[in-house]
Structure formats: structure tokens, C-alpha cells
Amino acid sequence: MADKNKTYHEEIDIKNTLRLREVLSSLPPFAKDYFRAIEPTTSSNTRINYAYDIRVFFRFLTEVNPVYRNYELNQFKYTDLDRIEAVDIEEYMEYLKVYTDDKQDLQTNKERGLARKMSSLRSFYAYYFKREMIKTNPTVLVDMPKLHEKAIIRLDADEVVELLDFVESAGSKLSGQALNYYEKTKERDLAILILLLGTGIRVSECVGLNIKDVDFKNNGITVTRKGGNQMVVYFGEEVEKALLNYINGQRKHTTPLPGHDDALFLSTRKSRMGVQAIENMVKKYARQATPNKKITPHKLRSTYGTALYKETGDIYLVADVLGHKDINTTRKHYAALDDERRRRAASAVKLRE
């Protein structure tokens, strides 16, 4: 049951902290020092992901490395890190491409998954090397996987219209239980889609919203960004209309479960919607409205960022509104738009009329 006195993000931090303690109990005892040290500078979500990644590394050693084949994870000492060579790290990268986890489920990693797990291991090694507990750091001797830029998928302006029109009219093609479910969630789903498309907030930020976070006087929502910082993101008339329609309609006439009274977006079970629920909802409608594009909530965020940059040409404004800590992240995503502008410049100046 959710604690009424705690925010959504505080509850997530508590859950992640408990999960981290559980994972740490299966890691070598010395690993606790590392996770204690990075606590002030990382989010609870980052730490739990690092813990899973580090556990994969030690399991790799017990499965593949002949020196540690008979080891239990709690037998490792920090001095064992000094016995690992660059070639072992290269073998680990190869192992990560396809392996089975502790549940015997097959796991695969492509270049981005490999890069994240290698980044976790580098951070882990760097802690002990910096404190002179080990003399070598083989992770820096191995090249990180080369990341190939992916084409950014976003909705064009006409596709945004098609998506929203489809959600508004989908009931005409449904009947029975499917129609009943659609009618129960239509106002909510439209509000979420229009909010994501009209503000560019992350799905995790959307999930964490409470009713009190919406300020119709100034047309702004208070969101909790990555790292825990709060920020007001402003919205226009279309978002205002969709939110008011939902809040004064379906949300007003729904009695939430205890502990979920403040949540803005509720599931059909009357509890706060989760990240996966919103992702599934977006994909469900997008598959039918824009079948040629694989649309997720993050793609709606890219759609907003693109539209904002086209309208303003201000990369710093886009970075600020999207909550990017590094302006280079924004530049990387919207460099193609700069190229479009430069192409238009080529024909803008006439030498001879």
C-alpha cells in the first residue's frame, strides 16, 4: 500500500533501496563500500542498475574464468580485481552479447547494452583504483563499444493529428467489453497523450504527477526531473483543455484506492498508473494510428522537442524544457534540424536576380 505522506518518487526510492540491499547481499561484501560511496551523486535507479550489472560480471567470472570457477560470489575479495586482465574484460564483453541469467532466461545485449554494462564496471573499478586498494584498472585498457547513431523516430505534424483523432474516434469501431473499457479510459488517455506531446515530459515524470502539481492559474505542471530536482513546465491551451476535461470528468468521479488519492492519472484498478501501463497505452494507439512507425512515449518527447526547436531555433530553450543536463545531448538529437536550416540558407541569398 502506498504511503499517503510520501511522494511517488520517494516511494520509488524506498523500493529501489530495498531492492539494492537484496542484490548487495548476493554480491561480494566489499561491493557495499562502492555503493555507499556513489550514493550522494547517483539516483536510486542508477544504483540498482549498476548493482545488477556488477552481479553479472562476478557471475561471468564464476562461469567462464577457470580461476574462479568454484567460487561463490561472497568469496571474492577486492584484491581479486587486481588479478583480472584486459583480456578477461574483452571476454566479458563477448559474454554479454548472449548469456543466461540466474533464472535461466536468455539475455542479449547490443552496443548500447554493452556500453552501459561496461560503464558500470569502469565506475566500479575506478572507485577501488582511485583509493589505491588495487594497483591496476584493466577496464580502461579495453575500448568501449562503438555506438552507432540511430535515426530519431518522431511523429510528423499530420501524424500527431492522426493519432489524436484516432483516439477520439476509436469507439466507433468497438463494441461490447472493448467499447466499455475505451469509454472508461478515453479522457485519461487523451490527457496523457496530449500532455506528453504538448510538454515533452518523460513518462516517469508523467507517472509521478499529483493533482496538486497542476497549476491552471499559470498553466504549469511541477515535475520531478532525473536526480530529484523539481521544475515547472508550462503548457498551452490544448493541454489545458485535455487536463481539465479529464480532471473534471473521469478523475473527479473515480474514488482512488487508499494511498493513491493524490495521483493525477489512475489505472482502471483505481491506483496510480505505472510507467509500463502508459508505455503500453501509447503503443496500443500508435500501432493502429501510425503503423509504419514504432512509437513510444520517448518518441512523443522527441516529437515535442523537434516541434519546439523548429518554432524557436533555440537549442538552449529546448534543452532547458526537456531537462537535459548536457546541451550536447540536445545538439546530438537535433543536429539534423540544423542541417535543414543550413540547406535553406544555400538558396536564400540570390547573387543575380
CATH value at residue 161: 1.10.443.10
Nearest to 265 by CA among 193, 197, 323, 216: 193
Same domain, residue pair 93 and 165: no
CA 302 to CA 153: how far, in whole Å? 8
Count of the separate structural domains present in the chain: 2
Same domain, residue pair 165 and 87: no
Range of the structural domain that residue 164 is part of: 157-307
Same domain, residue pair 59 and 129: yes
pLDDT band for position 323 (cuts 50, 70, 90) = confident
Cα angle value 104/56/91 (rounded, 5°):
105
Same domain, residue pair 196 and 261: yes
Same domain, residue pair 86 and 34: yes
> Please, are residues 121 and 57 in contact by the beta-carbon 8 Å criterion?
yes
Treating both helix axes as pointing N-terminal to C-terminal, what angle do 297-312 and 327-346 enclose, rounded to 10 degrees?
50
Same domain, residue pair 125 and 169: no
pLDDT tens by residue, 143-182: 998 887 777 788 999 999 999 999 999 888 888 898 999 9
Q: Residue 351 falls within a domain, yes or no? A: no
pLDDT tens by residue, 69-88: 989 999 999 999 999 999 99
Per-residue cell: 281: 497505452
Same domain, residue pair 72 and 96: yes
Domain of 52, CATH number, reads 1.10.150.130
Q: Residue 327 falls within a domain, yes or no? A: no
pLDDT at 9: 86
Nearest to 263 by CA among 210, 221, 214: 210
Predicted structure pTM score: 0.83
Nearest to 289 by CA among 193, 198, 178: 193
Q: Residue 297 falls within a domain, yes or no? A: yes
Instruction: Work out the burial of residue 103: count CB atoms within 10 Å of its CB; fewer than 13 is exposed, 13-18 middle, 19 or more buried.
Output: exposed
Q: Residue 250 falls within a domain, yes or no? A: yes
Same domain, residue pair 98 and 231: no
Same domain, residue pair 55 and 169: no
The domain boundary, picked from 141, 172, 205, lies at 141
Same domain, residue pair 217 and 110: no
Same domain, residue pair 206 and 273: yes
Positive or negative, the CA dihedral 178, 183, 188, 193 is positive
* DSSP structural state of residue 266: B
Same domain, residue pair 163 and 297: yes
How many other CB atoms are found less than 10 A from the CB of residue 187? 18
Strands 98-100 and 230-234: unpaired
Give the mean model confidence (pLDDT) for residues 312-339: 79
Q: Residue 313 falls within a domain, yes or no? A: no
